[in-house]
Amino acid sequence: MIKRNSVPRSIWTNPIHFLAFGLGSGAAPYAPGTFGTLAAIPLYLVLAHFLTWPLYALFAVAMFGFGVWLCDRTERDIGVHDHSGIVWDEFVGYLVTMFAVPVDWVWVVAGFFLFRLFDVWKPFPVRQLERRYQNGFGNMADDLLAGIYANIVLQLLVLAERQL
């Protein structure tokens, strides 16, 4: 077992841990969730340019399902629930945030800040979900909801911009 915030060496040798730690972005010494979200931006840009919205949504759902297993497995392996460096959930949360949002740097940045706000703030029922499920699902579900909240705000902002 490792300490809650120390980075296990296995993230560099175990492909499952490497993915759970966001391709290594979760190893950042400060604000690993923020670095994980930043690392999700290139993935979003590729997906948004090459996939239709239904395929994008299907990919995000698959990443969520895979993430439940991935995070649960990594948490069990390292002996720490919801380790701060496990940022696969940030990848999925950011993809949900950006669903059906125009592909433009203004929205990319707005989505980044809104997702981080809701991920840290954890408004109802985000925090309750995280506390209730002490497994991979709980790890993923709170970021899924934060992404949904952020997406709703982004959709309203996009709508408001179109009205101007």
For the chain (length 164 residues), average pLDDT per consecutive 10?
A: 72 96 95 97 97 97 98 93 92 98 97 97 79 83 95 97 87
Distance in angstroms (rounded) separating the CA atoms of residues 17 and 19 = 5
**Phi and psi at residue 151, to the nearest 5°:** -65, -40
Residue carrying the six token digits 């040798």: 13
- For 75, how many CA atoms within 13 A lie in the half-sphere containing its CB? 22
Tokens of 116: 């981080």
- For 15, how many CA atoms within 13 A lie in the half-sphere containing its CB? 0
User: What is the pLDDT at residue 164?
Assistant: 78
Q: Identify whether the C-beta of residue 33 lies closer than 8 Å to the C-beta of residue 84.
A: yes
User: What is the pLDDT at residue 5?
Assistant: 64
Report the candidate in 19, 159, 25 with the shortest Cα–Cα distance to residue 102.
159
User: What is the pLDDT at residue 124?
Assistant: 82
Report the candidate in 26, 149, 9 with the shortest Cα–Cα distance to residue 82.
26
In the three-class reduction of DSSP (H, G, I as helix; E, B as strand; rest coil), residue 82 is classed as: coil
User: What is the pLDDT at residue 81?
Assistant: 81
